[in-house]
C-alpha cells in the first residue's frame, strides 16, 4: 500500500555551484530504505536532484517527517519495490539487509522485484552475504551494486561522501548518476563485493587511527602536555590526518555526539576480521583495537561517536 505526502517542489534545474546539474535524476523512480543519520539526507538529495523518491523505514517517525516534506512512502519493502526502478539501502547491518531483501516480519523486495530493478546497497554489509544476495537478486531478474560510503553524517548532509563501488560495469554505469549526486568521490573498485572489501579496509584504517590519536593524546596528557597543543603541532606534520583534525578535536572537547556510532564502528571492524579469517589472514592490531570498542560498548557507551574510544584509556579524565 502506498501513501503520498504533500508539499515540496523539485529544483528548477539551475546549477548548485559544484559544476553538477541541479536535477540530473529527473524521470527516475528511486526508493530509499533506512532513514537514520545517513538515509534521511540521502533521500533529500535524491529528491532535490529530480528523482521521484519513495521511502520506507522500520522506524515510523522519520517516515512521517519525510511524508510531511512531500515524499511518497511505502509500508513495506515489497510495496516500495513495486513502484521503483532503483532501490537504495541504507540500513544498519548485514542482517537488516537480508531481511529487507528476503523478507521477515514484512514482505521483502524479492516478493515484488521487477525485471531490471537495481538494488544499491550503501551500507556496510559482509562480503560473503553481499555476493550471495547479489546472486539471488540477479536470479530474480534484478541487479546489485554495493556502494558503501565514508564520510559519516556530515558527508551525507553535504553530499560529499566517498563511495566505494562494486558491481558489473553496466550496473555501475547506471548507478553512477545517483552516486554522483551523493558523493564527492565515486570509485569503481571491481565486481560485486569489491566495494565492501574496500570499506572493510577503510574501517580498519579509521578504527586504528582513532585508537592511535587517542593513545597519543593520553600519553601527552599523562606527561603533562595539553593535548590541544599537541594536536595543533601535529596537524602541520606527517601525522596530520582528517581523523586527527575532526576526531582529535572531539576528544579534546569531550563532545561525542554521534556522527558514526561506536556500535557501528565495532560492527564494521568485526566484519573486517571475519573477512580476514575467510582469507586466512590475521589482523592483530585490528583485533586488539576491537576489544577496546567491546569494553566501552559493554560499559554503556555504544551510542556515542566512535571517537569516544579515548575513554578506554586510563590517562583520560573520567566522565562526569
Q: Round to whole Å and give the CA distance between 210 and 270.
A: 16
Catalytic residue among 199, 231, 261, 267: 199
Q: Round to whole Å and give the CA distance between 189 and 106.
A: 33
267 is catalytic: no
Q: Round to whole Å and give the CA distance between 66 and 254.
A: 32
Q: Which three cell numbers, joined as nine digits, stand for 49? A: 536532484
Instruction: Give bridge partners of residue 187 from the DSSP assignment.
Output: 164
Q: Round to whole Å and give the CA distance between 191 and 169.
A: 8
Q: By three-state DSSP, how is residue 166 classified?
A: strand
On whether the CB atoms of residues 202 and 286 are closer than 8 A, the answer is no
Provide the pairing of β-strand 161-166 with 149-150. antiparallel
Q: Round to whole Å and give the CA distance between 205 and 157.
A: 23
Q: Round to whole Å and give the CA distance between 164 and 179.
A: 10
- Put residue 167 in one of left, alpha, beta given phi > 0 → left and psi -120 to 50 → alpha: left
Active site residues: 199
Amino acid at each position: 500500500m502506498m501513501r503520498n505526502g504533500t508539499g515540496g517542489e523539485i529544483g528548477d534545474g539551475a546549477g548548485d555551484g559544484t559544476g553538477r546539474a541541479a536535477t540530473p535524476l529527473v524521470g527516475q523512480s528511486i526508493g530509499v530504505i533506512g532513514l537514520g543519520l545517513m538515509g534521511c539526507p540521502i533521500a533529500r538529495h535524491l529528491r532535490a536532484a529530480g528523482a521521484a523518491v519513495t521511502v520506507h523505514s522500520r522506524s515510523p517517525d522519520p517516515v512521517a517527517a519525510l511524508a510531511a516534506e512531500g515524499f511518497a512512502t511505502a509500508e513495506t519493502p515489497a510495496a516500495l519495490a513495486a513502484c521503483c526502478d532503483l532501490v537504495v539501502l541504507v540500513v544498519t547491518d548485514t542482517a537488516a539487509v537480508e531481511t529487507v531483501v528476503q523478507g521477515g516480519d514484512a514482505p521483502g523486495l524479492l516478493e515484488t522485484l521487477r525485471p531490471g530493478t537495481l538494488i544499491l546497497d550503501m551500507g556496510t554489509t559482509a562480503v560473503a552475504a553481499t555476493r550471495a544476495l547479489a546472486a539471488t537478486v540477479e536470479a530474480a531478474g534484478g541487479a546489485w551494486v554495493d556502494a558503501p560510503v565514508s564520510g559519516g553524517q556530515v558527508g551525507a548532509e553535504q553530499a560529499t561522501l566517498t563511495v566505494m563501488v562494486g558491481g558489473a560495469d553496466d550496473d555501475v554505469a547506471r548507478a553512477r548518476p545517483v552516486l554522483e549526486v551523493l558523493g564527492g568521490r565515486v570509485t569503481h573498485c571491481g565486481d560485486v563485493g569489491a566495494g565492501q572489501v574496500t570499506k572493510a579496509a577503510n574501517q580498519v584504517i579509521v578504527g586504528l587511527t582513532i585508537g592511535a590519536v587517542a593513545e597519543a593524546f593520553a600519553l601527552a596528557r599523562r606527561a603533562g602536555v595539553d593535548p590541544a597543543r599537541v594536536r595543533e603541532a601535529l596537524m602541520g606534520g606527517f601525522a596530520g590526518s582528517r581523523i586527527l583534525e575532526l576526531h582529535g578535536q572531539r576528544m579534546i572537547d569531550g563532545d561525542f555526539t554521534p556522527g558514526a556510532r561506536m556500535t557501528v564502528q565495532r560492527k564494521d571492524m568485526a566484519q573486517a576480521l571475519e573477512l580476514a579469517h575467510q582469507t586466512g589472514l590475521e589482523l592483530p592490531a585490528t583485533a586488539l583495537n576491537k576489544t577496546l570498542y567491546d569494553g566501552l560498548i559493554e560499559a554503556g557507551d555504544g551510542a556515542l561517536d566512535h571517537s569516544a574510544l579515548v575513554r578506554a584509556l586510563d590517562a583520560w579524565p573520567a566522565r562526569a
